[in-house]
Chains A and B, each alone.
Chain A
């Protein structure tokens, strides 16, 4: 009765890699895309490293009016969506718009555009009563990130359920989990789902400086993102988008689509503890993992690879390691675990979808991407984190997890579908 939901198209805009093939090359070669910030002068800031995308919206097919209208994150989402649709083999106009929906995750929405426009209307913070005469006509679209979903819906032609999911750093996982649920319950047959964030702006950098969450390895930016390493000192802010075409399995098979992976299970819980802090035992993340396994009707031993949140902060990596031990038991010590944030940084709401893309590609390629920069272990982080070099590994089932501000803890199980490649 319950429908099975599969990914049939993947589109990626990531640091160091525009397009899913480039993305997979970067990950499987263990290259890092972190660098000294170039978008603005980072001199005033504590953390001066980021994973920036060299993104030219016009070169990626966006029209001048689209570029004017959309924040950078929305632009990335539309570019990723177009790649995903092309990958899926769906034809524009051949689908039933009423049965097609959109869910886009974003943590901070149009923050770059808002910051730029705020500086104008406030004359650089000198007027509390900001000047409406200088308000850009697009300002409302920047105020409400729901405009991201609208842009994707317009670009594809979706007239079913459309929304933005904004659960901080689990937005990318939660948006895809939400889309899977909409297909399962029959509210849509096809979902365009994913996430986008473009937060590399002075104010966001300052926010994370203020709570000392980001790295201070400013002299060695290529090696600054060090999840699970003894010498890690915070995450590297990133940006990007990943968007998927999702549909129910029978429909995908009928039209002969290439199936990347099935969304087999999804679970989310909250730690009800602190807006930015984590309880060290990881109990709620463990509960989310168990919920995702239950929905997939799988056991811990069925998991071939764990795509970790692995942000590279002291507290996250311990919290998460504890959660894996709680939820997977002895299997936690035998399953490869890695964090692609070591290579592409932490793009807040977008990263969950980028990690789903990496998980699906790991299944397609039977390769586990590495944790770059992992050189020295510490006692609290004692699992197999696939240091520095990708591993050929039979990967039928992946657990991907996320953890974020607000206490959100999410977990998703992706699975190879019998009969799909390879």
Chain B
């Protein structure tokens, strides 16, 4: 039951870089990936900025037969999964296949693919809608395609809880390890940067209408007025610690030590938000005191009332101790389910390198009682991190990540 779940591989598709080390170098340097929407002409819409994965040509990474049947979101997920498996040096194994599964999160599915097919259906006629529409857009597609491409026959899962789903998927992978699987590929990748997805997502009312990438997404800032949407995410290889050691995993980035999820009360109920309870639950699950947390990766909504809820929850959990808080997604935009698993990757890399990536562009308002790491990266010895994610409608999830350096069972050669 209490087996430990460790991350042995990371794959990243982010708006400021494709590939883990590219992403991480740019994130440490505060390089933004936000710009005018490139995937379609957004000039006529209320919101016109996005974080898009630059220079991604699926043909360079995937066999041509996969291209007609995959949305861009799924292509990004497949590439991130392959990077993660290569990073962990996981080789295909018939013997182990049934013990290796996949859990992903996607908030909205393959919407761009869906729009093209809907356009054919209604614009030209039903018979012009292609056969791949039967699966290419739906929410389970990333898990299915990753499983097929990598021969992973263990438990498959798909969670949809908006942004929180990126953490929920990692937590579900951890559950599957506790239930007996040896390895899980997990995380979130989202997309839908197409006109139909754009207009649908705009109705959340939380998109920034600013045209300046430097001021459009400013969580915890007095100028905050929404967020910039983005595509991408991160896929992790999560393994039972003992199984990872047995197969000689090349590195252990750290452990998924704690997790909890809560849901906000119905508006008008008179009850307070449930975020604080998620943070406390994750700490309790990890058996970690708040004092042991060295950095918080914030959800960083960019909507003032939600930023306040988060700042107050952090303050309530950590008291007067000024725990550093950061939001590297200010460089990326919010990629729905993808953002949360990418923040877990960032937390692991921050712990590895002893540096907190900055929150860019933001001047933290006195309204928010937190120590926000702004401007430059902050060097610091890091052992444990708290990652927070919230989904539209009231989903709250929190994960505690613990570094490999505090991992007493890790063989010395597995550290870096």
- The reply to whether chain A is a binding partner of chain B is yes
Interface presence of A208 (CB below 8 A): yes
Q: Which residues of B contact A114 (CB under 8 A)?
A: 200
Q: Are A272 and B151 in contact (CB under 8 A)?
A: yes
Residues from chain B with Cβ under 8 Å of A287 in the complex: 98, 153
Query: With a CB–CB cut-off of 8 A, which chain B residues contact A150?
Result: 263, 393-395
Beyond A135-B202, A206-B121, whether A159 also contacts B263 by CB under 8 A is yes
B265 interface contact, C-beta 8 A: yes
Are A129 and B391 interface neighbours, CB within 8 A?
no
Neighbouring A residues of B266 by C-beta, 8 Å: 153-154, 157
Question: Is B156 engaged at the interface, CB distance under 8 Å to the other chain?
Answer: yes
Chain B residues bordering chain A, tally (CB within 8 A): 86
Taking a contact as CB atoms under 8 Å apart, the answer to whether A272 and B263 are in contact is: no
Restricting to B68-119, which residues have a CB under 8 Å from any CB of A? Answer: 69, 97-98, 101-102, 107-109, 111, 115, 117-119
Q: Which of A138, A164, A207 is the one whose CB lies under 8 Å from B133?
A: A207
Number of A interface residues at 8 Å Cβ cutoff, please give it.
85
Q: Is the interface of A mostly helix, strand, loop or mixed?
A: mixed
Given the complex of chains A and B, what is the CA–CA distance between A164 and B395 in angstroms?
11
Contacts of A145 in B (CB 8 A): 139, 160
Check if B263 sits within 8 Å of A153, measured CB to CB: yes
Is A115 a contact of B118 with CB atoms below 8 Å? yes
Residues of B within 8 A of A408 (CB): 140, 144, 156
CB distance from A348 to the nearest CB of B (A): 9
Contact A162 B263, beta carbon cutoff 8 Å? yes
With a cutoff of 8 Å between Cβ atoms, the chain B residues found around residue A178 in the complex are 157, 172
Residue of A nearest to B133 (CB): A207
Knowing A137-B203, A159-B264, A284-B98, the reply to whether A270 touches B107 (Cβ < 8 A) is no
Does any Cβ of B come within 8 Å of A130's Cβ? yes
Q: Do B152 and A270 have beta carbons less than 8 Å apart? A: yes
Which B residues between 246 and 274 are near A, CB-CB below 8 angstroms? 260-266, 269, 271, 274
Option from B108, B153, B197, B261 in Cβ contact (under 8 Å) with A271: B153
Q: Give the one of A98, A162, A202, A408 with max B CB within 10 A.
A: A162
Q: Which of A120-128, A222-230, A372-380 lies on the face that meets chain B?
A: A120-128
Which B residues have a C-beta under 8 Å from some C-beta of A?
A: 40-41, 44-46, 69, 97-98, 101-102, 107-109, 111, 115, 117-127, 129-131, 133-135, 138-141, 143-145, 147-148, 150-162, 164-165, 168, 172, 175, 179, 192, 195-197, 199-204, 260-266, 269, 271, 274, 277, 391-395
| 18 new A-B contacts at CB < 8 Å, known A135-B200, A275-B135 | A98-B262, A122-B119, A125-B120, A130-B199, A139-B200, A139-B203, A166-B138, A166-B158, A166-B159, A203-B133, A211-B131, A268-B157, A269-B153, A269-B154, A275-B144, A406-B143, A407-B147, A408-B144
